[in-house]
Amino acid sequence: MAKIGFIGLGIMGAHMARNLIKGGHSLFVNGAYPVPEDLTKTTTVVANSTAVAQAADIVIIMVPDTPDVANVLFAEDGVANGLAAGKLVIDMSSISPLDTQAFAKRINALGADYLDAPVSGGEVGAREASLTIMVGGPEKAFARALPLFELMGKNISLIGDNGAGQTCKVANQIIVALNIEAVAEALLFASRSGADPERVRKALMGGFASSRILEVHGERMTKRTFDPGFRIELHQKDLNLALDGARKLGIALPHTASAQQLFSVCAANGGKAWDHSAMVRALEIMANFEVAQAPGKEAKAA
Mean pLDDT of 275-286: 97
Asked whether the whole model's pTM tops 0.85, one would answer yes
Write out the catalytic residue numbers. Answer: 169
The answer, yes or no, to whether residue 302 has pLDDT greater than 60, is no
The domains located in the chain, with CATH, are: 3-160 (3.40.50.720), 168-287 (1.10.1040.10)
Tens digits of residue pLDDT in 19-73:
999 999 999 999 998 999 999 999 999 999 999 999 999 999 999 999 999 999 9
Q: Is 237 exposed, middle or buried (0-12, 13-18, 19+ CB in 10 A)?
A: middle
Tens digits of residue pLDDT in 210-263:
999 999 999 999 999 999 888 999 999 999 999 999 999 999 999 999 999 999
Whole-angstrom Cα distance, residue 139 to residue 143? 6
